[in-house]
Amino acid sequence: MKTFKLQALQILENEYEELVKKSITLYDGLIINREDEQNRWVIEAYVQSDYKDYFTNLRDKNEEIMVEVVITKESNDPATFITSIIGINDIGGERINVLFMGTIIDKRKSKIEEMLRKLIDEGYQGEELLEKFKELI
């Protein structure tokens, strides 16, 4: 397992057919690559207890939750995960921790697949497809 510092957390919510990012103020947090067969990660966010109802409602919907996190350094690009909430715990005082379990979305892979699909739909195939693909990347 590999553990990293969580620098930022945003919840991606679908509002009126549009993806909206809700930034969560962190006290602290960790993200752990479990390195298991399912390629799952655990995200632990320490936040104000004011968020408890919000996260409880998200968990109770029993739906997957898309999150974006910045790992290690604030200057890093965000990574996107499809998660579910596996725990919400009172830490004492005005803080709670929220535990997410999920898998990372490889944006590069999906962009490449999207690009290939578009070229195929445009009628490219064989060597012509390969040449056009090389040209685009």
Predicted local distance difference test score (pLDDT) of residue 125: 78
Distance of CA 18 to CAs 11, 51, 70, 77, Å?
13, 23, 22, 22
Predicted local distance difference test score (pLDDT) of residue 110: 66
Residue 88 makes CB contacts below 8 A (sequence gap 6+) with 52, 55, 56, 59, 96, 97, 98, 99
**What does pLDDT average to over the chain?**
88
Distance of CA 43 to CAs 17, 67, 115, 135, Å?
27, 10, 31, 38
| Coil vs helix vs strand at 37 | coil
**Between these two residues, 120 and 137, which has the higher pLDDT value?**
120
14, two tokens = 């679908």
Q: Which of 97, 82, 88 is nearest to 44 (CA)?
A: 97
Q: With beta carbons less than 8 A apart as the criterion, state whether 27 and 95 touch.
A: yes
pLDDT band at 127 (very low <50, low <70, confident <90, very high): confident
Predicted local distance difference test score (pLDDT) of residue 35: 87
Please report, rounded to a whole number, the percentage of residues in the chain having pLDDT higher than 70. Answer: 93
**Between these two residues, 109 and 28, which has the higher pLDDT value?**
28
Quick: pLDDT tens for 13-28: 877 767 789 999 999 9
Predicted local distance difference test score (pLDDT) of residue 137: 59
Q: Which of 93, 100, 6 is nearest to 50 (CA)?
A: 93
pLDDT band at 120 (very low <50, low <70, confident <90, very high): confident
Please report, rounded to a whole number, the percentage of residues in the chain having pLDDT higher than 90. Answer: 57
pLDDT band at 86 (very low <50, low <70, confident <90, very high): very high
Q: With beta carbons less than 8 A apart as the criterion, state whether 32 and 1 touch.
A: yes
Q: With beta carbons less than 8 A apart as the criterion, state whether 31 and 3 touch.
A: yes
d(CA 43, CA 64): 14
